[in-house]
Amino acid sequence: MAQRTNSPLASLSADLPASLVVFLVALPLCLGIALGSGAPLFSGLIAGIAGGIVIGIVSGSNLSVSGPAAGLTTIVAAALLKIPTFDAFLLAVVLAGAFQLAFGFLKFGILGDYVPSAVIKAMLAAIGIILILKQLPHLVGYNADYEGDETFLQPDGSNTFSGLFDRLNHIVPTAALIGLIALGIQILWEKVLVKKSKIFKLIPAPLVVVVSAILINQWLIKSGNGSMPPHALVSIPVASSIGEFSSFFTHPDFSAITNYQVWLTAATIAIVASLETLLNIEAADELDPYQRVTPTNRELKAQGAGNLVSGLLGGLPVTSVIVRTSANVNAGAKTKMSTIIHGMLLLLCVAFIPKILNLIPLPALAAVLIFTGYKLAKPSIFKELYKKGWDQFIPFVVTILAILLTDLLKGIFIGCLVGLFFVLRSNFRSAVFIVNDNHQYLFRLRKDVSFLNKPIVKAKLEQVPENATVIIDTTRADFLDRDVVEVIEDFLKHAPLKNIRVELKQSPYNSHGFSKELTA
């Protein structure tokens, strides 16, 4: 078993390389989600910086990484059409942060504990499949869909699956070459080189991928054998002076405080972002090799602080994001220093070396995300859930399909409903135990017997033949619904008419509300 790490500084040798990997994954996602939201590109970077530094410092999670999320893209895009200015929208982000702080103090974090484990694992697998499907076009140079897009239905009427085949008809040869080499490097690095020498564990494969991709593209340019088209490269706003760079940061318009749409948007962002965060925190704890537990109420406060800062500086709303979190875990991070450092890297790099970052081919970053997606949706995960039985496997599969065909929150909701059905089904079967030998009947009620068990109890009692002996044992029942008690009392009243002898066994500590006259 791995040794537990107590100090962030003691784990820096693991967290520093992991932060670099998360930085490389977060960079195109921050830009892509801003683009998909119809917001200024730099607002996505500000959100990534706030998510890394502010939430990283305040959060109690060791591995969760926060930033702008694809799940909020449609909400942000719709809000920007209804709210008069982007500055007024920033006020909604600030208010959403205040709402989340209140959620934390009101202890709403407990809601995440009610999501079944099979549903959380399905969420991770579904995100992995979505990453693979959505990043394949970027791998071959088609970038019409923004980075981080997770929606099933596309604006042009296509969907994830039909659109995939259409996108693959627009292959850019140089992009495909770089993308496939990048994917090959990662597979070779993890499956072969890391196992041969410890030195390869110290160097993050995504860093090798990015450097190799830049060098290949520069060689293609100089040799005249082609180059990456501009749309297939990272595109960060480049400032020519400190003053111009500071102008990228904007501030909320507090005069819009009376605007109804601002408050409605704030409430919507706060609720959706909080739900996504709680789900992703459960998933992050599931991925954590040390199985550490994140304090959820503190996490809501951290998210609130992150959104306050992001909104005040001109950034998009933030949540805990499972793609960045899983990349963080897979890169070997041990503490939240990785999250904090990745936020610092975003800030320093966009401030000082944006031109170098703009040399990075997007197919290389797509390869990193595809490999991350594969790790989240490995076949072994499906086998593991299948071995646990249908009550785990069916909610797992249904949740995956629901997320793929709708979106994250709708899919989770559907998965929870299916999981609840199997819980009720299990309780329904185990709560009532009935056995008979000739004319001797035993009805044993166990655990919690709810109104859902009423039909079977009523039907089985009425099937008891004349001249039988019945023992109704309630000593092992923790709870009997009043409806079930009434069914048994009704049977006690009319059983003598069929010459049925009935013995009702009760716990001396719990009468379950039976009438004293009938049980005397």
The three-state secondary structure class of 366 is helix
Burial class (CB in 10 A: 0-12, 13-18, 19+), 102: middle
Tens digit of each residue's pLDDT (9 = 90 or more) over 383-393 = 998 998 888 89
Model confidence pLDDT, tens digit, residues 227-277:
788 888 998 889 888 888 999 999 999 999 999 999 999 999 999 999 999
pLDDT in tens, 465-486: 999 999 999 988 888 888 889 9
**pLDDT class of 278 with cuts at 50, 70, 90:** very high
**What average pLDDT does range 99-111 have in this prediction?**
95
Return the minimum-mean-pLDDT range out of 127-131, 349-353, 399-403, 425-429. 425-429
Supply the pLDDT for residue 3: 47
Domain with CATH 3.30.750.24 in the chain: 438-519
Q: What top-level class would CATH report for the domain 438-519?
A: alpha beta
- Asked whether 325 and 127 are in contact (CB, 8 A), the reply is no
**Whole-model pTM?**
0.81
Residue 2: its pLDDT value, please?
45
Closest CA to 343 of 324, 366, 357: 324
Which residues, 6+ apart, have CB-to-CB distance to 170 below 8 Å? 137, 140, 141, 142
pLDDT at 300 over 50: yes
CA distance 450 to 459: 15
Summarize pLDDT for 320-345 with one digit per residue, the tens: 999 999 999 999 999 999 999 999 99
Mean pLDDT in the chain?
88
Q: Say if residues 69 and 306 touch (Cβ distance below 8 Å).
A: no
The answer on pLDDT for 417 being more than 60 is yes
Residue 6 has pLDDT above 60, yes or no: no
pLDDT digits (tens, 9 = 90+) for 200-238: 888 888 999 999 999 999 999 898 877 788 888 998 889
